[in-house]
Amino acid sequence: MVTFLRRRALTSLLPLVVVLLGVFFLARLTGDPASLYLPENATEAQKETFREVNGLDLPVWRQLVDYLQGIVHLDFGTSLSTGESAAAMALRAFPATLQLAITTMVLAVLLAVVIGSWAAYRPNSLADRFASFLSMTAASVPDFWLAIMGVWVFAVMLGVLPTSGVDAGLLSWVLPIATLLLRPVGVLTQVVRGAMVAALSAPYVRLARSKGADSRRVVAHHALRNAAAPALTVAGDLAVGLVNGAVVVESIFGWPGIGKLMIDSITGRDFAILQAAVLLTAVTIFLLNIAIDICYALLDARVRDKAMV
Amino acid sequence: MTTSTDETVALDVDGMSVDIRTPYGVVRAVDKVTFQARRGETLALLGESGCGKSMTATAVVGLLEPVADVTEGAVRITGESGTTDLRTASARRRRDIAGKELAIVFQDALTALNPVYTVGTQLAEPFRIHRGLSKKAARAEAIELMRRVGIPEPETRVDSYPHQFSGGMRQRLLIAIGVALSPAVLLADEPTTALDVTVQAQIMSLLKDLREERDMAVVLITHDLALVFEQADRVVVMYAGNVVEQGPVEDVFGAPKHPYTAGLLESVPVHAERGAELKSIGGSPPELAAIPAGCVYQDRCPIVRDRCREERPAAREVAPGHLSACHFPAEVNS
């Protein structure tokens, strides 16, 4: 297992470096921060001073070396706009995103397992078709449209939910979670259903029935654990999407998470913040993938045996 | 055939038919099949692929696919809790019987065992379900069972997973699950087809020992004539969903009274000479959707007459306990 994890960590290092470099160069394509932070009538000399102070006058390769050296010393630079440490800002925004992502994933997995298993128990029944239709629709609705419709109906027309922010307690969670939830539930329900249909017609389920196992035992004990692996793969992908992709939802609902921080840092040409935020999500996704691999091994001894080799 | 009142009859399949719904209409896969299996005997269900023998076994244990249904007849199991007709019994009652009075050993042990649970968990399951044993007590039973079916070091192997066993050992595990609660009836669906010959012999001898020790009726589903000859007391020969002949193995194989059985026996290359052509039955079995009126074997039968094309022959006793569904059993010579 340790060997397996070490190998997994090493193979993940390269993509991490690529992300690091990619963000560094892409951020600099957004334009010159000097023209954004200084008044429009600032002189060229003032701009020059601004660049010098912030190290933006150096050649790009020098900036990169400085950046990479900083990372080694866990120094991720400071914000152009507030002067605050980039790492602190990213870490402060991250819990809000994680809360959203974890709540959404837990709800999505629970709903998908229940609906998917229920649909799979009698394939092509009315219940199954209904569930398939709903999940397909849920998976297809674009989140930005849903978010705006949600705000319009529940906040503007009915006035029961806040339009944005986090000040209304649990009520402020409803629209962001509902918006984020729909696609994962739809996609996961389809995956769980497919995997459960396959598992429920497998010979080991026939053997379980021949032992006198009741439906609950057959579904929850014998079939579900076999169906978990494909569901886990997709759930992992969806979780990755939530960790870095809540950008749209966080922006629309003014949710103070990492997605909103990224958008703000892009529009503010705040390179250090953007780099720190992207690096943080990249590392999270890297850890998430390792966690998923460990889950595979816990679920299925065949994976464990292969990983040992 | 009249229903036997013999006390030792454990499985009584009485005029059972299975229909399959296909896109082209309903086809009959098993047609009014009747046979009995007694405690302590091995009954072979013999036939070629597609003859309905596996479908018969699947129907008996109630594991038919949703597109197939038992449409007539009865399947009676007689065990410790009396006689139950599985067709009319409640789902609850059928679950009580399953594993306890009626068990099945499947052909492919690798796919039949659940890959994500230890073999110990799976062997313990019958005890957990039917006897309500604690995990610990059921595990002890599982270890004992593994020892009984000849798995070395059961105390450590109990925590292994199916893929960590060889094919022969997996088949032993499946048999162990089947015999766990000493059922009245054990169906074995081609239990040795996937194994090599030496392992095959070991498995069959294990089945035989367990049958005697636990006084079970073993129903051996197979296409292997030699296996039937060596292992079975009685044989039921199936063709195109119908039972064409049944009786004690010595009688049926010694003096077959149905041309299909005779043809099968003739195609065994016992005294074949090198270079000589092997004998076979001409033609092929009818499509299930196009089974002719009259005798099911008419198109391949060497002694077919006009009557065979008009009237389906009923099973008649040609010798004590030996039944043939042929209009002219006296003309069959092997």
CA distance B276 to chain A (A): 42
Residue A229 placed within a domain: yes
Residue A77 placed within a domain: no
- Report pLDDT digits (tens) over B250-283: 999 999 999 999 999 988 877 667 777 788 888 8
| Per-residue pLDDT at B334 exceeds 60 | no
Residue B66 placed within a domain: no
- Report pLDDT digits (tens) over B301-323: 999 999 999 999 999 999 999 99
Domains of chain A: total: 1
Residue B296 placed within a domain: yes
Residue B332 placed within a domain: yes
With pLDDT > 90 as the criterion, what percentage of chain A qualifies?
36
SS3 A166: coil
Residues facing B189 on adjacent strands? B221
Residue B217 placed within a domain: no
Residue A254 placed within a domain: yes
| Per-residue pLDDT at B43 exceeds 80 | yes
Buried b (16+ CB within 10 A) or exposed e, A203-228: bbbbbbbbbbbeeebbbeebbbbbbb
Measured between alpha carbons, how far is residue B149 from residues A228, B57, B136 in Å?
Answer: 32, 23, 20
Tell me the residue ranges of DSSP E strands in B102-152: 102-105
- The pLDDT assigned to A308 comes to 61
- The pLDDT assigned to B1 comes to 41
| Per-residue pLDDT at A281 exceeds 60 | yes
Output the average pLDDT for chain A: 87
- Report pLDDT digits (tens) over A202-236: 999 999 999 999 999 999 999 999 999 889 999 99
Mean pLDDT check: name the lowest of A44-58, A191-205, B303-317. Answer: A44-58
Greatest mean pLDDT among A79-83, A265-269, B202-206: B202-206
Residue B79 placed within a domain: no
SS3 B16: strand
CA distance B88 to chain A (A): 17
Measured between alpha carbons, how far is residue A268 from residues A27, A40, A80, A257, B97 in Å?
Answer: 11, 15, 9, 16, 72
Higher pLDDT, B107 or B84: B84
Side-chain half-sphere exposure of B86, counting CA atoms within 13 A? 27
Cβ separation B63–A210 shorter than 8 A: yes
Q: How confident is the model at residue A242 (pLDDT cuts 50, 70, 90)?
A: confident
Residue B100 placed within a domain: no
Tell me what the mean pLDDT of segment A48-56 comes to: 81
| Per-residue pLDDT at B2 exceeds 50 | no
Kind of pairing between the strands at B102-105 and B185-189: parallel
The DSSP code for A155 is: I
- The pLDDT assigned to A185 comes to 94
- The pLDDT assigned to A245 comes to 59
Residue A128 placed within a domain: yes
Cβ separation B117–A225 shorter than 8 A: yes
Cβ separation A210–B130 shorter than 8 A: no
Instruction: Select from B98, B115, B163 the Cβ nearest to the Cβ of A210.
Output: B98
- CATH number of the domain where residue A180 is located: 1.10.3720.10
Domains of chain B: total: 1
Residue A276 placed within a domain: no
Q: How confident is the model at residue B84 (pLDDT cuts 50, 70, 90)?
A: very high
Residue A239 placed within a domain: yes
With pLDDT > 70 as the criterion, what percentage of chain A qualifies?
98
Residue B333 placed within a domain: yes
Tell me what the mean pLDDT of segment A264-289 comes to: 88
| Per-residue pLDDT at B5 exceeds 70 | no
Size of interface A-B (CB pairs under 8 A): 74
Output the average pLDDT for chain B: 91
Contacts of A11 (CB under 8 A, 6+ apart): none
- Report pLDDT digits (tens) over B168-217: 999 999 999 999 999 999 999 999 887 888 888 999 999 999 999 999 99
Q: Chain B partners of A222 at a C-beta cutoff of 8 Å?
A: 114
Tokens describing residue B326: 């042929």
Cβ separation A210–B61 shorter than 8 A: yes
CA distance A11 to chain B (A): 28
Q: Would the ipTM clear 0.90, i.e. be above it?
A: no
- The pLDDT assigned to B136 comes to 95
Quote the domain boundaries for residue B321: 242-270+278-334
Tokens describing residue A134: 């709903």
Q: Chain A partners of B129 at a C-beta cutoff of 8 Å?
A: 211-213, 217
| Per-residue pLDDT at B3 exceeds 50 | no
> By 3-state DSSP, what share of chain A in percent is helix, strand and coil, each rounded to 5?
80, 0, 20
Q: Nearest-CA neighbor of B217 among B185, B176, B249, B175?
A: B185
Q: At A71, which amino acid appears?
A: I
